[in-house]
Structure 1
Amino acid sequence: MQTNLADRSAATPAECAAVSASVNVFHELLVATIPTLRLRAMALTRNRADADDLVQAAVSNALAGQASFQAGTNFKAWMTRILRNRFFSNIRARRETSDLDDVPAWRLGRSGGQEESMELRELQRAMARLPAQTRMLLLMIAVEGVSYEDASAQLGLAVGTLKCRVFRARQQMRDWMMGEEIVASAPRRKRLVTTAEPSLSY
């Protein structure tokens, strides 16, 4: 009985090789996913330095929790959940939830100066005005080419809900970029002008 237990506890060369191969595959998947993580981190933080910090934190969490990843499942979806959870954990820890809309405008990278087109700047400004989760969803669908079905599996939302959110986000961005945003204070200004007109009395 004791011999059998000892035999079971001792790793065979084949088992060691399998573990090593598994670790290598995990690291390869992790490296291949980093560009996507950076894009999504930039969409969430709207700041390059914060995005880099977020990616590093997500990678550290992934390495620490490597054993929880099930081989054969969607690695990118797994990493996206880690990144997103870490982002919102940071927000809660810093008590900055109410200040998300005040974060400086999102930047895709270093400014290209005169080479950067006005259309791109307008697109960036419009994208920055979207809520963080909506911005990430739009990037997944419109930029990365993720299908609605895959996005549904990653985010845990119905396909119909995702389509509705993407449609509304695109419509809102189009309105912003075309200068068709409705200014809520406009009716008040009109009323003030009306009341300011002198009344004629005879």
Structure 2
Amino acid sequence: MKHDDLPFEDRLVAFLPNLRRFAISLCRSRETADDLVQAACERALRSSDSFEPGTRFDAWMFRILRNLWIDHARRLKTAGPSEDISERNDISVPSGEAASHARMALNDVAQAIDQLADEQREVLILVCVEELSYREAADVLAIPIGTVMSRLARARKNLSETTGINLGAERSSVMKGGNA
């Protein structure tokens, strides 16, 4: 059974991990994210009759969650507390040198994402993590598609510069048909 064929409540439950991941990327706090996800689910359940069948459920839910986050941020007049992943001792990885290097790289990327401007981080998460199209991300964020593209390009550039990970040169030689 596809998710589109599920009853509304079951579809919502199946979507919770994606919704939580986006919430964490917005507020950078697992506790606040959980509160946001709960509020988004309550709002979605109250408004389930306004969801149009045949449209993207994920985009509809992301929009609800983002609107709740904006309301929350306006009330607090701040972005809220952030949590440093390096201080989390309850996150474990398999032992070994490769795992240590992977964790360090993950920490570097997580910190680089955390340092992005809010607008860039939102677009990056929606397009690259949640796999929304540019159009769908533009609809969720209520911005033009060109703005999504430019914010995503700036986010990728900033991540590349911050982390030192740059595949641009390799891709450009392939794209040009070079023998690099």
TM-score by length of 1: 0.66
What do you get for the CA RMSD once the two structures are aligned? 2.4
Residue 126 of structure 1 corresponds to: 112
Matched, 1:62 2:44: yes
Q: Within 1, Cα distance between the matches of 2:124 and 2:83?
A: 19
> Gaps spanning 5+ residues in structure 2: where?
1-5, 166-180
* Shift in alpha-carbon separation, 1:40–1:52, aligned structure 2, 3 A: same
Give the 5 Å matches for 1:159-174.
159-174=145-160
Shift of 1:130: 1.3
Deviations 1:3-30 (A, max 9, x none): xxxxxxxxxxxxxxxxxxxxx7211221
The 1-side partners of 2:77 and 2:149 are apart by 31
> Computing the radius of gyration over CA atoms, which structure comes out larger, 1 or 2?
1
The count of corresponding residues between Structure 1 and Structure 2 is 152
Secondary structure of 1:53 counterpart: helix
Counterpart of 2:92, as a letter, is: G
Distance 1:64 1:132 in 2: 29
Secondary structure (helix, strand or coil) at the match of 2:7 reads helix
Deviations 1:65-100 (A, max 9, x none): 222222232221111111001111111122225xx5
Distance in 2 (CA, whole Å) between partners of 1:105 and 1:137 is: 21
State TM-score, norm by structure 2. 0.73
For 2:168, the equivalent position in structure 1 comes to: none
**Counterpart of 1:121 in structure 2: which amino acid?**
N
**Counterpart amino acid of 2:124?**
L
Find the aligned partners of 1:66 and 1:76 in 2 and give their Cα distance: 13
Matched, 1:103 2:82: yes
